[in-house]
Structure 1
Amino acid sequence: MLNHKPSIEFGVIGLGRFGTALAISLAEAKKEVLVLDSNESKIKNIRSYTDNAFVVNDLSKETLEEAGVQNCGTVIVCIGEKIDISILTTLNVISLGVPRVIAKALSKEQGKVLEKIGAEVIYPEHDMALRLARRLISSRVMDYISLNDGITISELKLTSKIAGQTVLQASLRKRFKLNIIAVEHNHKTTTDITPELVLYENDVMVVVGKRDHIQKFENYLMNGK
C-alpha cells in the first residue's frame, strides 16, 4: 500500500501541462499536495516539489483509496483529454467522499457531464492553472487577471485592518502603489471611488497594480504588515 499523510489539503490527478503547473504552484505556496499520474518520469520530476507523488497504473476507486485521495480536502482531476477516464475518475473521487472535487473539461458537453455527477468544472489553459492555485491558496484574493508587464487586476475581500477607513485614509496609492477600480458593499458595486468612500470589513475591492504590490497589500490585510 502507498504511504500517505492524513488530512492533505489538495490532490492533483494527472500531470499534463495544467496539472503540473497547478501542483507546482500549490507546493511552492507551502500547501500539502498529493499528486498521482501513470508516468513515472513525471512523478519523479514533481517529487522535487512534494514527497506525496505516486505512480498509479489505473484510477479505479480502490487505487485512489490506496493512494489516500479520500484524505484530501480538495481534489483537482486534470485529465480533460481522455473524456471517459476523466468522468470515471471524477466519479470515483466523489464517491470517496472528498469534500470538493474540481475537474478539467475541454468542451461544454464534457463539462455538463462532470457537473451532473457533482464536480466543479474548469476550462483551463496554463495561465488558468496559476489563477486557480491563487484562489485556492488565499482566503482574501477572490480572483485575479494577469495583464502584461507584471500588472494584475485583483479582487480582495477586506478585513478589519481597513474597516471604517475612507479611501483617503486607506491611502492605497501612496502606501501600496495600487489603484482602486471598484468596491462592492452589501452586494452593490460602485466604480465612483471618491476619497470620502468608507470601506467596511468583507467589502470586495478590485485593485490594479503590480503583482508584488498586491501581495504586499494582501499580507497587510491578513497580518497587518
Structure 2
Amino acid sequence: MKKEFAVIGLGRFGGSIVEELRELDVDVLAIDVNAERVKDFQDIATESVIADTTEEQVLKDLGLRNFDHVVVAIGDNIQSSILTTLLLKDLDVKRVTVKAQSSYHARVLEKIGADFVVHPERDMGRRIAHKLVSNSVLDYLELGGEYSVVEYLANDKMIGRSILDLDIRAEYGISIMAIKRDDDIIVSPDPAVKIIAGDVLISIGNDDDLNYFEKKVMG
C-alpha cells in the first residue's frame, strides 16, 4: 500500500518537504493555520487544509491517526509545536518527525515521544562550518549520538596511497565506507586500493575523530 504523509506547518522547511514528497509521487496532506500558506500549496500537495492542530478534535477530524508519518514543521510557535506533537502521540500516530527550534525544545519533544527530532538550522550551520574549514570536505551529515558521515575529496597527502598505507582506521579511528570514483561507487573498498585524484572518500566515525582527521590529513 502507498504510504500517506501529513506535513503541519508550511514555512520554508515544511513547504520544501511537501514539494519533495510530491516529486517522489507520495500522497501528502499539507496543513497550516495560515490561509495564504495553504493556498500556496493547493496545486502542490495532494490536499491542503487550514487547521489549528493544537485542538485534539481537529486532528481526529483530519484522520491523522491513520497516516503513516506526520511531520510537525511549525517554526514560529514552540508551544504549538509541543502541543501538536503531544496530541499526535496520544492518537498513536505511527511516526512523528518534529522540527526543533533549540536544544531545549528538542529535549521536550523527545520526552513527550517524538520519534525523530530534526535541527535544520543547526545541522546546516555545521555542514557549512566544515566546508569553510576545509575545501576537501564536500558534505557532512550528522547521524546523532556524536557520529557523522563526511565526504572528503582526496588531497595530495592521499593520492597514490592506499587506505592501508594511510592506516586511517587505526590512526584516526574512522572508517571509509565507500569511494566515489567518477560515476562508480566502490562499497567497502579493499584497503589495498590506491586512491587517485578525484576520488571522494565517504567516511564514518565519532565527531572528535573526524575533526582530528580533518586537521591532520585534510588540512
TM above 0.5, one fold? yes
- How many residues of Structure 1 are paired with residues of Structure 2 in the alignment? 151
Q: 1:85: how far off?
A: 0.8
Residue 17 of structure 2 is matched in structure 1 by 22
Alignment of 1:124 onto 2:123: no
Q: 1:11: how far off?
A: 1.1
Distance 1:177 1:78, change over 3 A: same
Query: Is the 2:4–2:26 contact (alpha carbons within 8 Å) kept by the matching residues of 1?
Result: yes
Sequence identity (%): 36
Distance 1:89 1:19, change over 3 A: same
* Cα deviation code 1:67-110 (max 9, x no counterpart): 12112111110114311111000001111111111111111111
Query: Is the 1:14–1:37 contact (alpha carbons within 8 Å) kept by the matching residues of 2?
Result: yes
Spell out structure 1 runs of 4+ moving beyond 4 A. 151-155
Query: Is the 1:153–1:206 contact (alpha carbons within 8 Å) kept by the matching residues of 2?
Result: no
Alignment of 1:48 onto 2:43: yes
Residue 105 of structure 2 is matched in structure 1 by 110
Query: Is the 1:17–1:126 contact (alpha carbons within 8 Å) kept by the matching residues of 2?
Result: no
Residue 68 of structure 2 is matched in structure 1 by 73
Normalising by structure 1, what TM-score?
0.56
Aligned residue type for 2:82: I
Gaps of 5+ in 2: 125-130, 142-148, 150-179, 195-200, 204-219
> Within 2, Cα distance between the matches of 1:117 and 1:71?
20
Q: 1:117: how far off?
A: 0.7
> Within 1, Cα distance between the matches of 2:26 and 2:193?
39
Query: Is the 1:103–1:122 contact (alpha carbons within 8 Å) kept by the matching residues of 2?
Result: yes
Give SS of 2:120's match: coil
Residue 55 of structure 2 is matched in structure 1 by 60
Task: Point out the more displaced range, 109-118 or 48-57.
Answer: 48-57
Normalising by structure 2, what TM-score?
0.58
> Within 2, Cα distance between the matches of 1:33 and 1:67?
13
* Cα deviation code 1:36-68 (max 9, x no counterpart): 101112111112112321111453111011112
Distance 1:32 1:58, change over 3 A: closer
Q: 1:7: how far off?
A: 7.1
* Cα deviation code 1:155-208 (max 9, x no counterpart): 8xxxxxxxxxxxxxxxx747x344x4x63xxxxxx783638xxxxxxxxx949x
Which structure: larger Rg?
2
Q: 1:153: how far off?
A: 7.9
Aligned residue type for 1:22: I
> Within 1, Cα distance between the matches of 2:45 and 2:122?
20
Gaps of 5+ in 1: 1-5, 129-144, 156-171, 184-189, 196-204, 208-225
Residue 33 of structure 2 is matched in structure 1 by 38
Task: Point out the more displaced range, 10-19 or 49-58.
Answer: 49-58
Distance 1:31 1:123, change over 3 A: same
Superposed, 1:140-151 pairs within 5 Å as none
Q: 1:121: how far off?
A: 0.8
Higher relative contact order (CA 8 A, sep 6+): 1
